[in-house]
Amino acid sequence: MDIERALREVAVLVARGGEPGEVFDALSEQAAKVCGVGAGAVVRFTGRAAELVGRWGDLARETLPPGMSFALDGGGALTLVRETGLPARFDDYAVAVGAMGVTLRPTGLRASAAAPVTVEGSVWGALIVSAFDSETLPVDTEERLTEFTELAAVAVAGADAHERLLESRARLVKTADDERRRLERNLHDGAQQRLVSARLALRMLRKQFDDPAPVDAILDELGKAHEELRELARGLHPAALSRGLGAAIGALATRSSVPVEYDVVDERFPEELEIAVYYVASEALTNAAKHAEASVVSVTVLVIDGALVLEVADDGRGGAVAGGGSGLIGLSDRVEALRGRLRVTSPVGVGTTVRAEFPLP
């Protein structure tokens, strides 16, 4: 197979932002085909072991399944790469000893060559191709592999940068939630208590006035201010979540100006997941009431295929745009920080559906 075409195919996948596992599988396949052998793999070094993070080839599939970890204690190309940081070749696995030899001898493996994947100056892992039974490795295999490992390094660096971005978003979301809790406590223990005390004091003074009407007007304003402050505090951090998502969604439904039907799984989840679900549901219901001209909204929260799924659907006029000032665009960072996905579907004349999916730990 032409190496330039093989490199180009993998480069396109890397540039498109393909998932690391997808890129590693493609690297394994293209490298093996360029070298004319039946198997290739990408491994990540973990101390004195290697983890299989990408592979291609039917041979030894049961012996070396994806995600498998194995010790590097009996020679072989991967052991040499880990110890030297240089491309290496091993032509006789019949003499391999230790766990490596025990694992590989039954597969019919004859020889292999590997090249290091270097990220930020350190050997992260290796790309390896293997010859089985009557196959042979070209004399320039190590040189060919080196051209592929540069793409592997780019994929690893990109995945690492994406991981750091998610971690940074998660820290920002947690900091914001902690600050909301602090503000809620301050409002409850400070401003709200002062308003309550002021109303009580005015009620006692009211008896001293011949015409209490002006005092009653002030009491009424203080009552409204207290209620608005309570609503503000409730919006900062939903107290109903202490009783679970069902109670919190029920509270949102009660306050909604549009009838809401809801079905919420009776189960507790990590706090950050419940908060995210609550805020997405709250924003979606607010949008339905303000813009959708809907007659009913349905809210479902279910566990589907290992993910917590929220879906808010209305029967309104549709045509909503996620970034068009709806507020949902601001929630996408919260959802993605939890490695989730937020989607808005809104055909004109059909209604709007907001769906958020969060992988469960």
The CATH superfamily holding the domain 238-361 is: Histidine kinase-like ATPase, C-terminal domain (3.30.565.10)
- The more confidently predicted of residues 164 and 223 is 223
Q: How far, in Å, CA of 225 to CA of 234, rounded? A: 14
Look over the chain and give the mean of its residue pLDDT values, rounded to a whole number. Answer: 79
pLDDT for residue 228 is more than 70: no
Check if CATH label 3.90.1640.10 holds for domain 3-160: no
pLDDT tens-digit profile of 310-322? 999 999 998 877 6
> In the prediction, which pLDDT does 192 show?
62
Question: What HEC string does the chain produce?
Answer: CCHHHHHHHHHHHHHCCCCHHHHHHHHHHHHHHHHCCCEEEEEEEECCEEEEEEEECCCCCCCCCCCCEEECCCCCHHHHHHHHCCCEEECCHHHCCHHHHHHHHHHCEEEEEEEEEEECCEEEEEEEEEEECCCCCCCCHHHHHHHHHHHHHHHHHHHHHHHHHHHHHHHHHHHHHHHHHHHHHHHHHHHHHHHHHHHHHHHHHHCCCCCCHHHHHHHHHHHHHHHHHHHHHHHHCCHHHHHCHHHHHHHHHHHCCCCEEEEECCCCCCHHHHHHHHHHHHHHHHHHHHHHCCCCEEEEEEEECCEEEEEEEECCCCCCCCCCCCCHHHHHHHHHHCCCEEEEECCCCCCCEEEEEEECC
pLDDT tens-digit profile of 65-117? 677 777 777 678 888 888 888 998 888 776 665 666 666 667 777 788 998 88
How big is the chain, counted in residues? Answer: 361
pLDDT for residue 182 is more than 60: yes
Stated pTM of the model: 0.51
Confidence of residue 163 (pLDDT cuts 50, 70, 90): low
Domain with CATH 3.30.450.40 in the chain: 3-160
Out of 83-87, 162-166, 177-181, give the one with best mean pLDDT. Answer: 83-87
Give residue 339's Cα distance to chain centre. Answer: 1
Confidence of residue 298 (pLDDT cuts 50, 70, 90): very high
Q: How far, in Å, CA of 226 to CA of 194, rounded? A: 10
> In the prediction, which pLDDT does 105 show?
67
Q: How far, in Å, CA of 324 to CA of 20, rounded? A: 33
CA 157, 163, 168, 171 torsion-angle sign: negative
Full strand arrangement of the beta sheet holding 69-71: 69-71, 49-56, 39-46, 122-132, 109-119, 88-90
> In the prediction, which pLDDT does 246 show?
92
Confidence of residue 232 (pLDDT cuts 50, 70, 90): low
Token pair in block for residue 319: 């045509």
Q: Which of 61-65, 108-112, 115-119, 219-223 has the weakest average pLDDT?
A: 61-65
Q: Which of 39-53, 170-184, 293-307 has the weakest average pLDDT?
A: 170-184
Confidence of residue 55 (pLDDT cuts 50, 70, 90): confident
> In the prediction, which pLDDT does 357 show?
94
Domain with CATH 3.30.565.10 in the chain: 238-361
pLDDT tens-digit profile of 19-37? 777 888 888 888 888 888 8
> In the prediction, which pLDDT does 205 show?
77
Q: What are phi and psi of 186, to 5 degrees?
A: -65, -40
**Mean pLDDT value across residues 123-150:** 85
pLDDT tens-digit profile of 40-54? 888 888 878 888 888
